[in-house]
Amino acid sequence: MVLICLIENSPDDVEVAQYVFDDCGLEIDLEIYRDGRIAIFELGRSVSPDLILLDWHLGRASGLEVLQFIKNHPELKKVPTVIFSTSKNETDILNAYQNYCNSFLIKPLGLDETIKALKDTVLFFVKHLCCPQSKV
């Protein structure tokens, strides 16, 4: 079983992600947080996921704040964290990489492209990428 944490405030994007996770051929347990502050609270007290998909523009705590929390947390810092956002702003992208995101994906405009991008990302990070299991 793969645990994916989706931090996303758009109901439409959550629905698309749920469709992709159901269709990608993996057993996925999905935790969804629609608010950055709630995500920080829950991630700080729960089991580490195998992958975190993080929107950059969230309510109450920004994607940057959530990313900084993740990458400064002793257990969570090793979890692949992918920013999945509509932002094409160079400052946002630079800030994300300076704070150790593993990838910054710009959400495609079309539904088919979004589904493909999410599916490819999940399969790469969950099925093909090797990450350390012990504390780093």
DSSP for 4-19, please give it: EEEE---HHHHHHHHH
The structure tokens listed for 114 are 């979004």
pLDDT > 90: percent of the chain: 62
Q: Can you give the pTM of this predicted structure?
A: 0.90
- For the stretch 9-67, pLDDT in tens is 999 999 999 998 888 888 889 999 999 999 999 999 876 899 999 999 997 899 999 99
DSSP for 33-61, please give it: ESSHHHHHHHHHHSPPPSEEEE-SS-SSS
How far is the C-alpha of 125 from the C-alpha of 75, rounded, in Å?
18
Buried b (16+ CB within 10 A) or exposed e, 107-133: beeeeeebbebbbebbeebbeeeeeee
pLDDT of 78 above 80: yes
Domains in the chain, ordered, with CATH?
A: 2-128 (3.40.50.2300)
